[in-house]
A and B are shown apart, each in its own frame.
Chain A
Amino acid sequence: MDRLDLADDLCERIVPLQGELLGFMRRRRPHEAEELAQEVWLRVSSASTPSEPRAFRAYVFTVARRLLIDRHRRSRTIGSLVALDGGRAADVAPSNSDPHGQAVAAEVLAVVERCLASMKADVAQVFRWRATTDLSFKDIAVRQGCSLNMALGRQHQAARHIARALDEAGHARRKP
């Protein structure tokens, strides 16, 4: 297959997933959905992807989820830096003119705090530090006096626990 054929092949595989990916992004970051979807296709096209359609779809959404995590972390940092200028901060937290959004946010926060309170102190600490500071997992491992894998495992444990609780409370959008 030459380069042109490869591009055609990729296009054929991308087209059926375009709508689904855009919907996935719109439900999560409505203001940037198109941009994020394009970024996913860019990353997919520059990588060696699986040829089997189901595996290709799984690959696309893996890239998409990772991109979302990255974008949320970045926007949190930017949001905290420019929270007063009326820019991206609007995307970060529900505004005062959105009472429903505020109620949902308060509910999510209560679920998360309840979950954290029920966890082991070390596990909750890793999650809080990751959520509220810029500490890397390496830094956290040093501060907790444990191995890097232990710190990563604690984050994993906390995330699973919170995701399950959010799911039960009807706040998680797990499936694409």
Chain B
Amino acid sequence: MTCPHASTTTVAWAFGEFEGSAAEGEAHTLHVASCEECNEALEALEVVEVQVAPLAGALAVEEPTKPLVVGVPVRANPSGTALGGRLWAGLVVAAAVLLGMARRAGRRTAGRAAALGAGGGPRCAVSLPGGGSPECPGARPRP
């Protein structure tokens, strides 16, 4: 195919979907009449339309899908976020909560480490006669 119209403009023109002026449509009619490829394209369209149009009702129908979602512009706020700042607020709150939890966990760990360092730790109220550790009833001294 060397004529770019044969598979585009000529198809639209043949089905009455040509988007030019009447004069342009007329000019395209002259083009199709003189262009071998456009003429062949028109012939094929006509043959198929004449043969298939009466049987269109018997053709297996494929339900048209819904149009693809087209991007909708969202009103931007001064901070430039698409969610009106809510995203940032959410992130700040989440970060604060995580930070708080981390701090609390850090404090608890530090306290335990300090207690262990001073020889403390949880002590057992019962001292075992079999040489058990005084810190925990089940613990045995390591060899």
Contacts and interface: CB of A to CB of B under 8 A. Distances in A.
Interface stretch (A4-12, A13-21, A68-76): A68-76
A174 to B, nearest CB: 6
B115 to A, nearest CB: 66
B8 A109 contact: no
A153 interface: yes
B42 A62 contact: yes
A166 interface: yes
A113 interface: yes
Contact of A66 (B29, B34, B65, B68): B29
Interface in A133-176: 133, 135-140, 142-143, 145, 148-149, 152-153, 155-160, 162-164, 166-167, 171-174
Contact of B8 (A66, A153, A159, A160): A153
Interface in A25-77: 28, 47-48, 50, 55, 58-59, 61-63, 65-66, 68-70, 72-73, 75-76
A22 interface: no
Contacts of A155: 11, 45
A93 interface: yes
Contacts of B14: 65-66, 69
Interface string B10-34: 1111111100000000100110111
Nearest to B43: A174
Given A173-B47, A174-B47, A156 B15 contact: no
A66 B42 contact: yes
Contacts of A148: 12
A119 B11 CA distance: 19
A132 interface: yes
Nearest to A67: B46
Interface in A113-141: 113, 125, 128-133, 135-140
Interface residues of A, number: 64
A28 B48 CA distance: 12
A132 B33 contact: no
Contacts of A133: 64
B59 interface: yes
Given A145-B68, A149-B8, A59 B45 contact: no
Given A47-B29, A69-B45, A157 B55 contact: no
Interface of B: 6-17, 26, 29-30, 32-34, 39, 41-62, 64-68
Given A62-B39, A143-B67, 16 more contacts: A48-B26, A59-B33, A62-B33, A68-B49, A69-B49, A73-B16, A109-B55, A109-B59, A128-B60, A133-B64, A138-B17, A152-B8, A156-B11, A157-B7, A162-B44, A166-B48
Interface of A: 28, 47-48, 50, 55, 58-59, 61-63, 65-66, 68-70, 72-73, 75-76, 79-80, 92-94, 105, 108-109, 112-113, 125, 128-133, 135-140, 142-143, 145, 148-149, 152-153, 155-160, 162-164, 166-167, 171-174
